[in-house]
Structure 1
């Protein structure tokens, strides 16, 4: 399974809204400018997110979007499924070999588990391992 720009940019929108959670709405124009993305494309992505109840739109001159739930309540899986559809590495329903079918199901379940246990709050709070001194190399 390859996540397309729909899923990647959709997560970008949701993470920006999560960063602003509780501070008011954010325009797609500001998200597009911040990440050098097409505002028109983001408009196409936010519609299904709104229809799925993940974001709310605020109308008016200073309108924009806000999360419909807290960042702790929305998972990466919620966003990816809305924009990409069901999570599956291959079409395995017709797989005749039970061993391969089991493999595809375990891969699907592992991907789903990671996406469904990673919240927007986890993503915006992530601190990578910036401490390269933690590894000691000897030549």
Structure 2
């Protein structure tokens, strides 16, 4: 599984907004500058996150984006599920599945998918921003 650019941008946007949530609405140009991201692509990702219920867009002077919920209520799995679609290692079979393919799917890919889901479902945006390594880097 590889997280796409959309998923990576989305997570970076949410983390940046969480870090600056006390400043009110944040302009995407500021996020793009701080994170060294394409503002145009960030706009597309922000639209998806707004439609998905993670962000609120504030129009007008002093407008920008802010988190719709507190970082403690935003789970990384939900964000990646929205931006990446179905997050799985398991491949869908094109036709008849061989015995070997079924064994690998049932005893490897499904278990791997369950473990990845457990990890992402239990990590909030707040935990990411409070991580010791994260605060050290900012």
Deviation at 1:33, TM superposition (A): 0.3
CA distance in 1, matches of 2:36, 2:57: 22
CA distance in 1, matches of 2:23, 2:29: 17
Whether the 8 Å contact between 1:92 and 1:104 is mirrored in structure 2 is no
Deviation at 1:92, TM superposition (A): 4.1
2:73 is paired with a residue of what secondary structure?
A: coil
2:66 is paired with a residue of what secondary structure?
A: strand
How many corresponding residue pairs? 128
Matched, 1:84 2:88: no
TM value normalised by structure 2: 0.86
Matched, 1:4 2:4: yes
- Among 101, 111, 114, the alignment partner of 1:106 is 111
Mapping of residues 1-139 of structure 1, within 5 Å = 1-92=1-92, 95-97=97-99, 98-102=102-106, 103-128=108-133
Aligned to 2:136: none
Q: 1:93 to 1:118 in 2, by over 3 A?
A: farther
CA distance in 2, matches of 1:77, 1:127: 21
CA distance in 2, matches of 1:55, 1:81: 15
What's the C-alpha RMSD, in Å, of the aligned pairs? Answer: 1.4
Whether the 8 Å contact between 1:76 and 1:115 is mirrored in structure 2 is yes
